[in-house]
Amino acid sequence: MLKFDGVGLRYGHGGLHQGRALGPEVLHDISFRLEPGAFRWLLGPSGAGKTSLLRLMYLAVRPTRGHLTLLGTDVATAPRRALPVLRRRIGVVFQDFRLLPHLSAFDNVALPLRIAGRPEGQIRADVTELMRWVGLFRHLDARPAAMSGGEQQRVAIARAVITRPALLLADEPTGNLDDGQAERLMQLFKELNRIGTTVIVATHNESLVGRHPAPALRIADGYLSTGRSPGPSTGPSPGPSTGRGDAPEAS
Amino acid sequence: MSPLRPAGSLRPAGFDELGLRRALSDRMLPLLVAAMAFLAALAMAGWLGTAALARHWQEGAGAALTVQVPQPGEASSQPKETRLAAVLALLSGTPGVASAHALSQQELGDLLKPWLGQGAARLDVPIPAVVAVRLTDAAMDLAPLTNRLQAAAPGTLVEDHGIWMRRLAVLARSLQACAGLTLLLVAGVAAAVIAVATRAGLSTRREAIEIVHGLGATDGYIAARFAARATGLAAVGACLGGVIALPIVLTLAQMAAPFGGQGAPSGNPVQDALGAVPAALWFALPCLPLTAAAIGFVTAQSVVRRWLRRLP
């Protein structure tokens, strides 16, 4: 499903900075493995490499060394033309939302389905239903600029999950949400996780992690360690599928 | 609710996820392409016009022999035969002569009208008979024929227009080549203009492109959006340029008509102008928007695909 094997990353390799000299290594010897349906927190101080690790996972960069296997494809060696189909199976919620400002909320959420060439009738039904679920049914035609930060974030989340991705990555997804909305979001993530989606959530929100204990990938200075999140280890709700997919390999 | 979308279609028409409606402006690019198309229309008219002139003059070069017979009505060396009849008989019996036509008094009068005015016949000027001769072989050696004509009717002049016609034909061919080069250059400049506009659009919409790319769009998907926009704008611009060029092309064609051996004017200027335009131009003009669209499509596709290679 997701396998890092001695992965190192330097910027300036491939991607947007092609042609420039390689910078210093920002991720070192990352090795871990997640089975389908795993849930992980991604924790670590700012600048530790959380975003770089996520960028590797949503194929915005390719590893400088080592092997990264995503959904059965070795992305270090796969031809470039094989990546778009892989990206369509990965949902990403960005910290800064990355919505298209000239499109309505509906069109933003519908975009991944249109890129995938789904029939328009199905798109309308799916998007409308999901927008109702995230509480934005009245904002279908609104542009992002006319929405609050929390509303924009819900649009970004809806766009990330509309294709029912096999892997869902979220970078500080609750940053602009109040506690009630954050809980609702976690319920959505857990629901997706329950039906088999692998979910990785990078966050600084300690109380959220405390309320939803699950294994964590901890990153510091570009090195990875694995372990359980802090918080109550007992209770009526054991948290999202903590027992599955937990197969740390090293570091 | 969002605008009505037909169920089952893959992608709503006009869905502008990359925001290209603003990035590739519908003002500047069509105007520049219109200017290119205007020049292309003129070059095309020049190319076809000079081709027609060259052809006409080339034909003339193969046929241009004028024989002047002074005192045509007097007896020739042959008994019971006028000098003109003797010359005509000799000419029509010569191999390599396609036809020999003695100009009538009326035709001669027309020919001299610019110099002698309407009443040339009444001036009692001794006018030679003129025989227009068409040859089947332009390279025929005229010396033996000239000698035999001199013998039959002394004083007969043979004038070969071929050399002038050939020079004019070479000039026309050179002009045609220039027009062809202009056409190529204009197409190249149009492609460059579209490439620059596409690159500007790429850098303006970079963020949107990266988002769409990140959502799994293929290079083909993104390039198709740009190509559709560039193709449409180029076609519109070329239509505009072609329409603006049309009256000028018609005027030029009308001015060139007498040199191309067009028939007498009918008196209706519009009809004459339309009739003077070479038929090939009526096919070539509608090709302008099609060619511009093709240039727009190919240029945008290649520029965008090359640019996208920098994304992972």
The answer to whether residue B11 is domain-embedded is no
Report the candidate in A78, A28, A70 with the shortest Cα–Cα distance to residue A223: A28
| Residue A227: predicted pLDDT | 61
For chain B, say whether A225 makes contact (Cβ under 8 Å): no
Chain A's closest residue to B13, CA to CA, is A120
* pLDDT surpasses 70 at A150: yes
What's the CA gap between A36 and A207, in Å, rounded? 26
Smallest CA–CA distance, residue A4 to chain B, in Å, is 18
Nearest to A62 among B19, B22, B312 (CB): B312
Q: Looking at per-residue confidence, does B191 or A183 come out higher?
A: B191
Angstrom distance (rounded) from CA A119 to CA A123: 6
Q: Does the pLDDT of residue B17 top 70, yes or no?
A: yes
State pLDDT tens for residues A54-83: 999 999 999 999 999 999 999 988 999 999
Whether residues B241 and B225 share a domain: the answer is: yes
B210-249: per-residue pLDDT in tens? 999 999 999 999 999 999 999 999 999 999 999 999 999 8
Strand-pairing partners, residue A25, are A10
Considering the domain architecture, whether residues B76 and B146 belong to the same structural domain is answered as yes
Residue A38 amino acid letter: A
Q: Which of B130, B160, B190 is the last residue of a domain?
A: B160
Residue B14 belongs to a domain: no
How does residue A237 score in pLDDT terms, banded at 50, 70 and 90?
very low
Chain B contact for A18, CB < 8 A? Answer: yes
Shortest CA distance to A106 belongs to which of A148, A58, A162, A150?
A: A162
Residue A233: pLDDT above 80? no
**In Å, what is the CA distance from A25 to each residue of A10, A14, A17, A111, B42?**
4, 14, 15, 34, 60
**Residues B256-285 pLDDT 10s:** 777 665 555 566 766 766 777 777 888 888
Which range is least confidently modeled, A21-30, A148-157, B271-280, B284-293?
A: B271-280
Residues B138 and B174 in one domain: no
Inter-chain residue contact B6 with A120, CB threshold 8 Å? yes
Cβ–Cβ of B2/A88 closer than 8 Å? Answer: no
More confident site: B77 or B193: B193
A92 or B262, which is more confident? A92
**Residue A122 clears pLDDT 60, i.e. is over it:** yes
Residue B39, domain member (yes or no): yes
Residue B3 lies in a domain: no
Give contacts of B7 with chain A, Cβ < 8 Å: 119-121, 124
Chain B residues with CB under 8 Å of A98 CB are 207, 211, 214
Is the CB of A119 less than 8 angstroms away from the CB of B10?
yes
> Of residues A231 and B137, which shows the higher confidence score?
B137
Average of per-residue pLDDT across A119-138: 91
Q: For chain B, how big is the Rg over CA atoms in Å?
A: 31
**Inter-chain Cβ pairs, chain A and chain B, closer than 8 A:** 87
* Three-class HEC string of chain B: CCCCCCCCCCCCCCCCCCCHHHHCCCCHHHHHHHHHHHHHHHHHHHHHHHHHHHHHHHHHHCCCEEEEECCCCCECCCCCCEHHHHHHHHHHCCCCEEEEEECCHHHHHHHHHHHHCCCHHHHCCCCCEEEEEEECCCCCCCHHHHHHHHHHCCCCEEEECHHHHHHHHHHHHHHHHHHHHHHHHHHHHHHHHHHHHHHHHHHHCHHHHHHHHHCCCCHHHHHHHHHHHHHHHHHHHHHHHHHHHHHHHHHHHHHHHHHHCCCCCCCCHHHHHHHHCCHHHHHHHHHHHHHHHHHHHHHHHHHHHHHHCCCC
At residue B252, the pLDDT reads: 82
pLDDT at position B266, please?
62
Mutation target to probe the A interface, by most A beta carbons within 10 A, among B5, B22, B215, B221 is B215
Give the domain-ending residue among B116, B142, B160.
B160
User: Are B144 and B235 found together in one domain?
Assistant: no
Same domain, B214 and B304: yes
CA-based nearest residue in chain B for residue A115: B217
B231 and B271 belong to one structural domain: yes
In angstroms, the CA A37 to CA A189 distance is 11
Which pair of structure tokens corresponds to residue B290?
Answer: 């099609």
Nearest CA in chain B to A82: B218
A107 and B15 in contact by Cβ < 8 A? yes
In chain A, residues with a C-beta closer than 8 Å to the C-beta of B203 are none
B273 inside domain: yes
Q: Is residue B72 part of a domain?
A: yes
**How many domains are contained in chain B?**
2
Which residues from chain B sit within 8 angstroms of residue A104, using beta carbons? 2
Residue B71 and residue B115 in one domain: yes
Q: Which of B160, B179, B207 is the last residue of a domain?
A: B160
How confident is the model at residue A17, as a pLDDT?
44
Same domain, B180 and B247: yes
| Mean pLDDT within A194-214 | 91
Q: Is B93 found in the same domain as B109?
A: yes
Q: Is B84 in the same domain as B195?
A: no
Q: To the nearest 5 percent, what fractions of chain A are helix, strand and coil?
A: 35, 25, 45
Could you give the C-alpha distances from B15 to A108, B5, B231, in angstroms and in order?
11, 10, 16
pLDDT at residue A2 is higher than 80:
yes
Please name the amino acid found at residue B228: A
Determine the pLDDT at residue B62. 59
Out of A17-21, A119-123, B146-150, pick the least confident: A17-21
The range of the structural domain enclosing residue B278 comes to 20-59+166-308
CATH of the domain at B90: 3.30.70
Per residue in B18-75, pLDDT tens? 889 888 877 889 999 999 999 999 999 888 888 877 777 776 665 568 888 888 888 7
User: Is the Cβ pair B216, A116 closer than 8 Å?
Assistant: yes
Residue B311 per-residue DSSP state: -
A59 touches B: beta carbon within 8 Å: yes
Q: Do B9 and A61 touch (CB under 8 A)?
A: no
pLDDT of residue B199: 95
ipTM for the assembly: 0.86
Structural domains for chain A: 36-62+78-228 (3.40.50.300)
The answer to whether position B113 is within a domain reads: yes
Same domain, B55 and B70: no
Share of chain A above pLDDT 70, in %: 86
Are B87 and B156 in a shared domain? yes
The reply to whether residue B11 touches residue A107, judged by beta carbons under 8 angstroms, is no
Q: Which ranges in B24-120 belong to alpha helices (H)?
A: 28-61, 83-92, 105-116
Q: Identify which has the larger pLDDT, B287 or B134.
A: B287
**What pLDDT, on a 0 to 100 scale, did the predictor assign at position A58?**
95
**What's the pLDDT band for B76 if we cut at 50, 70, 90?**
confident
In a domain, B54, yes or no: yes
- Mind telling me how many Å the CA of A209 is from chain B's nearest CA? 28
